[in-house]
Structure 1
């Protein structure tokens, strides 16, 4: 007596299905795993409903009074002697119960996998985040998503959908800093001329009280590769919702690969002050502290900084000697007016307590009343007593010939 050929078919299909389940558990799509479990359950039902090839005897030319029971799913074949169909059926059922227990374990594994996948719902685990094909919204988003991200160039997308490339510092103070702008003085002798984008490119005049207005508009200019050779303002300046800023002082014409290593001053804020002012400098200047000649009666906020490279003593050693009595190092100060009511956008690394702001701070509007246009420009009066002489009201040559880079996080 021989076993029905149907049994061979089920055994072969079962082995195939079990192989699928084993390969799926823990790392294959949930839908396929469910389909495979369904197939296995159906095969079990078939094994029970059909004769199971255990209780059917067929005449053949083989040995008499002997047939083979082949349970499903790679279970060792049982030799059933004589005509004791019940004992063979019990053995098959026992094997099926063992298989059901195995299936329960596999179901638990799949349930655990589903729970893990559910916990990741809403998160974007994208290995290519920051590429041209998958730009991030900020360097912080990339760092939060790809913990191993390193310093370098990444592609970002503004809230308006503009894709741009910029530098990300992924290591300073846990990283996630986006380079959004740089202020660079291209010509101290060209007062408010073509290169003075952070003050005025049209000269010094009371008819132009806001200057070019680039501290509080959607203009963009420059490139990340030339941030120490020219002014930079990318879409991140007005589109990123940030909490803090970081500033680097980098000598002019430093190549991109050396921005960080060559920055002799690097410092950042930690108190989340930007959240009070709309999340970026664009909102701070547009909605709270406009850079307009005689446009306000008081200065903007002075925020404490943490030094990453450099020190208060190094900063003081680079400033014009005459300003030292009017400043407090260890801050970044926004929208500061001089004695003649001309605004300066940022005082890097210090709080300005006096009225001769033009000799230490950067950026501004289009008109400086004192000996106009002598103080007009992105670096205003830093050369008052000679270019880079580091005497009187003139800064050191290094400070005069360096760009200030701004980052958000």
Structure 2
């Protein structure tokens, strides 16, 4: 029987019900007791920044994240970016804090980008191929590729005698008083040394150096020197430090060959100098010289050519030729005689390049321009070349 005035109880209640307290299903963590919001699960102890009320960082963010900039997923090349589109080409470009005050690309910038794309879009082995295959007629810098797929930049003369000429080398005398010293890449940079008969060996190796834009300020040699198969050469003598756009107007002599002579010598000078090594004691004067090829003048003539060299030199060459691998009285070779065919044996005064040993007055004849200043720098007296010739770079092209 229930007691009078009391509601029946289905079962005995726990003590805390009797005290008016709410039941606890299970012992709560400390943060519940402190009135904090519970965390549904904690897989591991939380880092300090959680305890301090800071938002967690999943990983260290790059600098552009910290600056409020949007990240770039990958760098886009010019060929993947179209005006008005983002790097992906599918939507509007992202605007960052750094871009707010940056003006958009102007017409000039777009034209320059287009010029760059035009230069790399064609695959060609030479400037001649660029002209014939892609109908390109403008002089300037273009990218060419070797047989092994190596890309390099070269200057193309698309105007002279039908165009299609590829600049492959320049010989520049940086210091006529430095004898086979630093910068004499077409002879020797290691001093006059009988133990180095070929010097640096540049005429018959595949070492490249320099840049086409600096071809009148330093020695230059690109991959086309040994990779292009050509028939003829063109030579420009351009005053030192001339800007590329002024090469034609600052030339003192320009000519080319038309006999296809390279066809008989492997198609380039690299192969020719394998047949005619530029090495000390490889032969004797006149008997063992390489080919002498008649030239066609594009600027200048035979008389002007002769006058670029000293009066004594004029007595032992015939102008109107380009000659390869000649040997002087002391059996020292020179690689190239520009505009002339030697008949005498003092070739160090009017031919360029060489090996590593010039015995006469050693080391006074050792260097890229050998003994051009034998009777004084640029005096054009005795054996000395003119100042114009001494202070001009020799640029050689293939076609």
Structure 1 residue 135: Cα displacement? 3.4
Q: Deviations over 1:102-131 (max 9, x none)?
A: xxxxxxxxxxxxxxxxxxxxxxxxx99972
Structure 1 residue 221: Cα displacement? 0.3
Structure 1 residue 278: Cα displacement? 0.5
The answer as to whether partners of 1:129 and 1:142 remain within 8 angstroms in 2 is no
Structure 1 residue 299: Cα displacement? 0.4
From 331, 335, 338, give the equivalent of 2:328: 338
Q: Partners of 2:201 and 2:262 in 1: how far apart?
A: 20
Q: Deviations over 1:18-73 (max 9, x none)?
A: xxxxxxxxxxxxxxxxxxxxxxxxxxxxxxxxxxxxxxxxxxxxxxxxxxxxxxxx
Structure 1 partner of 2:214: 226
How many residue pairs align between the two structures? 282
Q: Deviations over 1:247-299 (max 9, x none)?
A: 0000000001111222121100100000101000000001x100000113410
Structure 1 partner of 2:385: 395
Structure 1 residue 402: Cα displacement? 0.4
Q: Partners of 1:229 and 1:160 in 2: how far apart?
A: 29
Structure 2 partner of 1:292: 279
Matched, 1:325 2:315: yes
Q: Deviations over 1:168-223 (max 9, x none)?
A: 01111111000000000000111001100000000001000010000000000000
Q: Secondary structure at 2:120's aligned position in 1? A: coil
Structure 1 partner of 2:299: 309
Pairs within 5 Å for 1:241-320:
241-286=229-274, 288-297=275-284, 298-320=288-310
Q: Secondary structure at 2:375's aligned position in 1? A: coil
Q: Secondary structure at 2:394's aligned position in 1? A: strand
From 240, 244, 253, give the equivalent of 2:228: 240
Matched, 1:348 2:338: yes
The structure with the greater share of residues assigned to helix is: 1
Q: Partners of 2:216 and 2:136 in 1: how far apart?
A: 27
Q: Partners of 1:228 and 1:392 in 2: how far apart?
A: 27
Q: Partners of 1:128 and 1:255 in 2: how far apart?
A: 20
Q: Secondary structure at 1:164's aligned position in 2? A: strand
Q: Partners of 2:280 and 2:149 in 1: how far apart?
A: 34
Q: Secondary structure at 2:249's aligned position in 1? A: helix
The answer as to whether partners of 1:130 and 1:136 remain within 8 angstroms in 2 is no
Structure 1 partner of 2:372: 382
The answer as to whether partners of 1:130 and 1:142 remain within 8 angstroms in 2 is no
Structure 1 residue 133: Cα displacement? 3.7
Q: Secondary structure at 2:366's aligned position in 1? A: coil
The answer as to whether partners of 2:252 and 2:388 remain within 8 angstroms in 1 is no
Structure 1 partner of 2:56: none
TM value normalised by structure 1: 0.67
The answer as to whether partners of 1:130 and 1:155 remain within 8 angstroms in 2 is no
Q: Secondary structure at 1:173's aligned position in 2? A: helix
Question: CA 1:392 to 1:160, structure 2 compared with 1: closer, same or farther past 3 Å?
Answer: same
CA-based RMSD: 1.4
Pairs within 5 Å for 1:363-374:
363-374=353-364
Q: Secondary structure at 2:168's aligned position in 1? A: strand
The answer as to whether partners of 2:141 and 2:155 remain within 8 angstroms in 1 is yes
Rg larger for? 2
Matched, 1:179 2:138: no
Q: Secondary structure at 1:379's aligned position in 2? A: coil
The answer as to whether partners of 2:130 and 2:136 remain within 8 angstroms in 1 is no
Question: CA 1:178 to 1:130, structure 2 compared with 1: closer, same or farther past 3 Å?
Answer: farther
Question: CA 1:129 to 1:327, structure 2 compared with 1: closer, same or farther past 3 Å?
Answer: farther
Q: Partners of 1:130 and 1:271 in 2: how far apart?
A: 33
- Stretches of structure 2 that go unaligned for 5 or more consecutive residues are 1-114
